[in-house]
Structure 1
Amino acid sequence: MKTKHLQPHQIAEAAQLLKQGQLVAFPTETVYGLGANALDSQAVNKIFQAKGRPSDNPLIIHIAQIEDLAQLTTDVPPLAQRLAEKFWPGPLTLVLPAAPTVPREVTAGLNTVAVRMPNHPIALELIKTAGLPVAAPSANRSGKPSPTRAHHVSKDLENKIAAIIDGGPCSVGIESTVVDATGPEPIILRPGGITFEMLEATTSERLTTIAPGLHGTRANLETDETPRSPGMKYTHYAPQAPLYLLTGTWEEQVKKLEKIQERIEKSKEKIGLFISEESFRIISKKSNHRIEKGAIPVIQRAGSRENLKDIAAGLFDALRAFDETEANLIIAETYPTHGIGLALMNRLTKAAGDRIWNEDN
């Protein structure tokens, strides 16, 4: 199969491919999605084949208007209705009771279905033009960093899918927040662009967070349990080189970075650093001429620690960029878990597989 590379004005062609049961990658405000007709089980199966995705990992269905929920769920609880009215279109996914019309391939055999309305003109127009709900996980090979640019999709899925719509970079850069709205109290199954604080300000119910791979939260699912949401069970977001996380206060992390820099300059090890602008300024003052000459083979500057939204938006692009370098090990700074920081640290922790850097590494 030869993948077509489409521009935004070619949405009608992409919509026709979806109607024909083909796979189309398209931009959303979070990451690029790999779309198929959500009500066509054969089309949905193609998603799992193209991504190499485990079949027990449920998919998110994308819709263009709240009325579309009627064919996907048997009930929209008052809590879910309030959250949808507040945050849709936007990076919020709601887990709801599944209607019989939803194929089990989408739900992974669960009695619930995950639905969201993306806040991106291309995504909304594609869904409206196709006239069907679109199941769409991230448009990457399973386990790799999610794609936030069209060329990321091409790198992973070229000639495995029918088309890619190039809509430029994604603005949020991290997948949607997933909230289970089936019970009396909302549960965050995956943190994302809609933060804990934003949800807490919207609902009077007690809000619980489950963030697998993030320290201080409820435990991961057992290995034989079907996850209730994407991103809950399997390794995700990992670059090719092993990723290690720094711990401690920012000041403590900077001291560790200075020792790592000294180690690199002595040993010439091919270590990559994913660090903030503030940390870069400090270590570059310590050894500016060496950094300019490339004694440290790769430095990806994440952005300012004062703006975690920017760091989150560039996270997956930076992790993918390391794959194009000689770095055979990556060390990343860590960040506070308020606001978007919770989602940022969830992704970094899962990308690292819980690996923590220490001087013996």
Structure 2
Amino acid sequence: MPSDVHEIDRAVGLLQAGELVAFPTETVYGLGADAANPTAVGRIFAAKGRPADHPLIVHLPADGYLDRWAREIPAVAWELAEAFWPGPLTLILKRAPAVSSAITGGQDSVGLRVPAHPLALALLRAYARAGGGVDGMSGIAAPSANRFGRISPTEAAHVHDELGDAVGLILDGGRCPVGIESTILDLTPAAGLPPRLLRPGRVTPEQIRMVIGVLPEIVGHQADDGTPRVSGSLAAHYAPTTPLLLVTPERLAEAIERLRCSRRRCAVLCHSELPDDGAALAVRRLPSDPRGYARTLYAALRDLDRAATDLILVEEIPATPAWAAVADRLRRAAAGAGRNGEAATPR
């Protein structure tokens, strides 16, 4: 683990002082603050440029801390925690009375998880041993360590590029092994109703069903029906500054050629082999399996965003359940990318 005990102790001190610390989780790098300190939490929103009504996920050192942050915890929450924690599953539960509205965006629910990255766990456990911050709550709020709406960081250098001196310390744990954000599961529906999957991730609906015996309802958008607001649920998110367009595999070569003929510079993100004709200024070919693709997706998008092109073409991925989480991120990235209104390419 690249960061040593001294750095973890330093991170604990900064968090106790209300400062920001970036650290790796198995999903992406998080921008951490003491979740029980509203002033420190406010620094997260300021550094990211994040709207105040967007709730944050609280990271815990173990599932034994769950009842400090949630109330009326259903039995399925404990079952899911036992099955998937530490790991990339966030549970939405009714918030405990002590939980600040700064964390929840004014809602009566809170998102909680125990991350699986060894450095994140070392930090969280050290923080708990040191007293756990304000009121001993031992939670660290940590949205992705990037400007709001932009590509999530999966390496320490990404955090520095995004936030610079706004972060008191960046703990370097190497590249995040999962590479996309956690699955978010809402456990606040009334008894007898299924839980709701609010954001797809590494933990799949079928894996959840195997644990609790019920397939979650998949919420495809942020509905105005009492569904909690959660991180990464906006239609536009995870986006590069360069316009991005999804193109079917069958039309990708044609799209590249049309851009070449119009003297427009393009970058390409693909999982198939492309003809080596040099028409694309930059190409990143990712693994053809969903886990390998997810692991390298954000780093590849960052590379292509720096390539100074007019458009990033992304080869569409298979429309299968195994690719659902990646497909979600690509759709939101395409919606949020810096379009100039002239990027229409046949699909």
Mark yes or no: TM-score above 0.5. Answer: yes
Alignment of 1:236-275 (within 5 A): 236-246=237-247, 253-275=248-270
1:197 paired residue among 185, 192, 206: 206
Q: Which segments of 5 or more consecutive residues in structure 2 lack a partner in the other structure? A: 129-137
1:360–1:172: structure 2 CA closer, same or farther, 3 Å change rule? closer
Aligned to 1:298: 282
SS at 2:212's partner residue?
Answer: coil
Contact 1:196–1:339 (8 Å) recurs in 2: no
Q: Which moved more, 1:235-244 or 1:23-32?
A: 235-244
- The alpha-carbon deviation at position 358 of structure 1 amounts to 5.4
1:320 paired residue among 292, 299, 302: 302
1:328–1:225: structure 2 CA closer, same or farther, 3 Å change rule? farther
CA offsets, 1:49-94, max 9 Å, x none? 0000011110000001111112111122011111111100000000
1:122 paired residue among 112, 119, 141: 119
Contact 2:18–2:33 (8 Å) recurs in 1: yes
Q: Using the alignment, how far apart are the partners of 1:337 and 1:25 within structure 2? A: 34
Q: Which moved more, 1:237-246 or 1:85-94?
A: 237-246
Alignment of 1:21-60 (within 5 A): 21-60=18-57
Aligned to 1:336: 318
Q: Using the alignment, how far apart are the partners of 2:285 and 2:83 within structure 1? A: 34
Q: Using the alignment, how far apart are the partners of 1:145 and 1:258 within structure 2? A: 26
Q: Using the alignment, how far apart are the partners of 1:59 and 1:208 within structure 2? A: 22
Q: Using the alignment, how far apart are the partners of 1:308 and 1:20 within structure 2? A: 40
Q: Using the alignment, how far apart are the partners of 1:21 and 1:339 within structure 2? A: 41
Equivalent position amino acid for 1:149 in 2: E
Instruction: Verify: 1:92 aligned to 2:89, yes or no.
Output: yes
Identity %: 40
- The alpha-carbon deviation at position 346 of structure 1 amounts to 0.5
Contact 1:108–1:226 (8 Å) recurs in 2: no
Instruction: Verify: 1:165 aligned to 2:171, yes or no.
Output: yes
1:8–1:190: structure 2 CA closer, same or farther, 3 Å change rule? farther
TM value normalised by structure 2 = 0.89
Q: Using the alignment, how far apart are the partners of 1:269 and 1:134 within structure 2? A: 45
Q: Which moved more, 1:21-30 or 1:231-240?
A: 231-240
Contact 1:191–1:211 (8 Å) recurs in 2: no
Equivalent position amino acid for 1:235 in 2: A
CA offsets, 1:223-254, max 9 Å, x none? x99952111236211101111112xxxxxx33
Q: Using the alignment, how far apart are the partners of 2:15 and 2:105 within structure 1? A: 21
1:337–1:21: structure 2 CA closer, same or farther, 3 Å change rule? farther
SS at 1:229's partner residue?
Answer: coil
Contact 1:57–1:227 (8 Å) recurs in 2: no
Equivalent position amino acid for 1:299 in 2: V
- The alpha-carbon deviation at position 15 of structure 1 amounts to 1.1
Alignment of 1:2-21 (within 5 A): 7-9=3-5, 10-21=7-18
Q: Using the alignment, how far apart are the partners of 1:70 and 1:225 within structure 2? A: 23
Equivalent position amino acid for 1:175 in 2: E
1:337–1:39: structure 2 CA closer, same or farther, 3 Å change rule? farther
TM value normalised by structure 1 = 0.86
Aligned to 2:134: none
1:308–1:235: structure 2 CA closer, same or farther, 3 Å change rule? same
Contact 1:312–1:340 (8 Å) recurs in 2: no
- The alpha-carbon deviation at position 154 of structure 1 amounts to 0.3
1:236–1:7: structure 2 CA closer, same or farther, 3 Å change rule? same
Equivalent position amino acid for 1:77 in 2: P
Contact 2:239–2:336 (8 Å) recurs in 1: no
Aligned to 2:161: 155
- The alpha-carbon deviation at position 146 of structure 1 amounts to 0.3
Instruction: Verify: 1:135 aligned to 2:144, yes or no.
Output: no
- The alpha-carbon deviation at position 266 of structure 1 amounts to 2.9
Alignment of 1:179-194 (within 5 A): 179-183=185-189, 184=191, 185-194=194-203
Q: Which moved more, 1:192-201 or 1:30-39?
A: 192-201
- The alpha-carbon deviation at position 336 of structure 1 amounts to 2.8
Aligned to 1:346: 328
CA offsets, 1:8-56, max 9 Å, x none? 4311111111111110000000000011001111010100000000111
SS at 2:106's partner residue?
Answer: coil
1:303–1:43: structure 2 CA closer, same or farther, 3 Å change rule? same
Contact 2:267–2:280 (8 Å) recurs in 1: yes
